[in-house]
Amino acid sequence: MPLDAPQDVSFSRRAMKAELLDAETELRLAYAWRDERDEAALHRLITAYMRLAISMASKFRRYGAPMNDLIQEAGLGLMKAADKFDPDRGVRFSTYAVWWIKASIQDYVMRNWSMVRTGSTSSQKALFFNLRRVQAQIEREAAQQGIKLDQHQMRQMVSTEIGVPLHDVEMMEGRLSGSDFSLNATQSSDEEGREWIEALEDDSAQAAELVEDDHDTAQLRGWLLHALNDLNERERFIVRERKLRDTPRTLEDLGQELGLSKERVRQLEAAAFGKMRRSLEQQTPEVHQFLQ
């Protein structure tokens, strides 16, 4: 019964008709898989408890996920449990597998609940699956006592009941309060209405900014060319190789080509930059903003 087969009613029926393993047989299969990596034993163990995975998957249908996908995730959790199960601990495989199956399904539901990540910590997961239930329970108990709770009191009581921070309760309430909407949806029922995406601010540079940037770039390029022309040929070569190449050359590499020591090349580079700075400062006071 492959786990990647179409998950339909017939699959569920076959799973429900699978053999029931007694404790001795289950233990023997678990040892065969752990010690000998016997795939036949693993297949028999997984097949026998697929009914447990399907049963647990059905409890999460209210979250809107396709049942086939839930069963698939439950099966993956079951396989993880089989791979990590230690028969020496004296625990039944079904008891151990419940946690892995539930964790796998919960992770899937939370990943697919919204395009925005719903949560990843244990407290956020506990809130996601228990918030509405605990809120309803607290409301019933308060109504029985004739007490009316405001939102802050409700959140504090939920925080205490589930054992999670108050700010996590507030965050999860916000995330569960609405669903995802397309930015291409119209803002009104009118088909000719403006789409929500049209209301987003354009973060790209505006025309005026582009013109200013182009002007500043051209001006700076002219200043630098003038400053480079004030250098001798060797200084220009060092500046070009050290600063104007996509992959700058090292002082040692330039020293070998020029027949100089690495320290001497560094001194020539520093002197060239000093000349360029003085040349730029003499050209216009505006250049100071680019040299800071």
DSSP string, 45-67: HHHHTHHHHHHHHHTTGGG---H
CATH class (in words) of the domain with range 9-113:
mainly alpha
pLDDT grade for 227, boundaries at 50, 70 and 90 = confident
Contact between 161 and 134 (Cβ < 8 Å): yes
Distance, CA of 291 to CA of 229 (rounded, Å):
18
pLDDT for the residue numbered 193? 62
In this structure, the chain runs to a length of 292
Name the burial class of residue 51, with classes exposed (0-12), middle (13-18) and buried (19+) by CB atoms within 10 angstroms of its CB: middle
pLDDT tens digit string along 62-107?
A: 777 888 899 999 999 999 999 999 999 989 999 999 999 998 998 8
Buried b (16+ CB within 10 A) or exposed e, 98-107: bebbbebbbe
9-113 and 207-291, same CATH topology: no
Quick one: tokens of 134? Answer: 């605990």
CATH class (in words) of the domain with range 207-291:
mainly alpha
Quick one: average pLDDT of 39-62?
A: 91
Quick one: tokens of 71? Answer: 């069963």
Distance, CA of 17 to CA of 26 (rounded, Å):
17
Domain definitions of the chain by residue range: 9-113, 122-176, 207-291
Mean of per-residue pLDDT scores for the chain: 80
Quick one: tokens of 190? Answer: 């009118």
pLDDT tens digit string along 126-178?
A: 777 777 788 888 888 888 888 888 888 888 888 888 888 888 887 777 666 65
Q: What percentage of the chain reaches a pLDDT higher than 70?
A: 79
- Alpha-carbon radius of gyration of the chain: 34
For the whole prediction, is pTM greater than 0.85?
no
Positive or negative, the CA dihedral 130, 131, 132, 137 is: positive
pLDDT for the residue numbered 29? 94
Cβ neighbours of 116 (radius 10 Å): 7
pLDDT grade for 273, boundaries at 50, 70 and 90 = confident
Residue 241 has pLDDT above 60, yes or no: yes
Residue 1 has pLDDT above 70, yes or no: no
Nearest in space to 112 (alpha carbons), one of 183, 79, 78, 64: 64
Residue 43 has pLDDT above 80, yes or no: yes
Degrees (nearest 5) of the Cα angle 19, 24, 26? 50
Region of poorest pLDDT, from 69-83, 188-202, 234-248: 188-202
pLDDT for the residue numbered 173? 77
